[in-house]
Amino acid sequence: MERGWVDSHCHLPDVPAEAAEVVDRARAAGVAWMVAVGTDLATSRTAVHYAEEHDNVYATVGLHPHDALKLDSEWPELRELATHPRVVAIGETGFDLFYEHSPRDEQATAFRAQIQLAHELDRALVIHSRDAWDETFAVLDAVGVPPRTVFHCFTGGPAEAKRALSYGARVSFSGIITFKNADDVRAAASVAPATHTLIETDSPFLAPSPHRGTTNEPANVALVGESLASVTGRSREEVMATTSAAATAVFLTRS
């Protein structure tokens, strides 16, 4: 594995030629590899296809909380797709009670199913939790936390970070860490051990400053890493090394 940054969570363009350009720009910007995330069956298939086409792309397979209502119709094919050798994680899954596009009981059902699949297939679990910390932790307590779990795009403060870390889970910080009003997120980053901290773009969303408001892409993950370095008092090189090692431990290592 080449040395460089790791974007632990991104959504690549649907058009293969555009995705290839994004991947190429990321490599030119020093990104060693990235994880392309599925949010339903169609996007999971696309993520797996890109992982097959590009040696520096890995895939996840899952149902986003917004798409939890698709569980009955898509689950058999998602389960099968999740066994693909380029699939490194299940998710993103969890709760989104900010929008609640799917009823929360449906979100809980889909979350439980994906946690169980991560256990069964020995894959990492990627969690989306927005305005739903109590609900997220309650399901994890009931079902059991997979050994390699990531709280993606972490938006909580130190208390939520410590609770997540108490499970042995990792926390992943996005461009939000660069936003002026994100003091709680930066405080959370300051209490997370380097071994349990990842970075991501969540592209095409959440472009970091000074690119806020533009279309984000994995090439920008270094800006997230540099902000994390500033928050934690570590050097840029150290943050590159530790976040890359943490991503490797989560996604490329089996229990």
pLDDT for the residue numbered 254: 83
CA-nearest of 111, 166, 183 to 142 is: 111
Question: Quick count: other Cβ atoms within 10 Å of Cβ 178?
Answer: 25
Q: Compute φ and ψ for 91, nearest 5 degrees.
A: 120, 175
Distances (CA, A) of 202 to 103, 128, 138: 24, 11, 25
Beta-sheet pairing, 197-199 with 149-151: unpaired
Q: What is the C-alpha to C-alpha distance for residues 49 and 46, in angstroms, rounded to an integer?
A: 5
The SS3 of residue 193 is coil
Answer for the pair 12, 47: CB distance below 8 angstroms, yes or no: yes
Answer for the pair 44, 78: CB distance below 8 angstroms, yes or no: yes
pLDDT for the residue numbered 241: 98
The SS3 of residue 191 is helix
Answer for the pair 161, 209: CB distance below 8 angstroms, yes or no: no
**Residue 74 amino acid letter:** E
- The CATH architecture that domain 5-251 belongs to is Alpha-Beta Barrel (3.20)
Domain borders along the chain are 5-251
Q: Compute φ and ψ for 36, nearest 5 degrees.
A: -90, 130
Mean pLDDT by runs of 10 across the 255 residues of the chain is 91 98 98 98 98 98 98 98 98 95 97 98 98 98 98 98 98 98 98 98 98 97 98 97 98 89
pLDDT for the residue numbered 39: 98
DSSP class per residue in 8-51: EEE---SSHHHHHHHHHHHHHTTEEEEEE--SSHHHHHHHHHHH
What residues pair up with 35 in beta bridges, in sequence order? 58
Please give the model's pTM, rounded to 2 decimal places: 0.97
Q: What is the C-alpha to C-alpha distance for residues 248 and 235, in angstroms, rounded to an integer?
A: 20
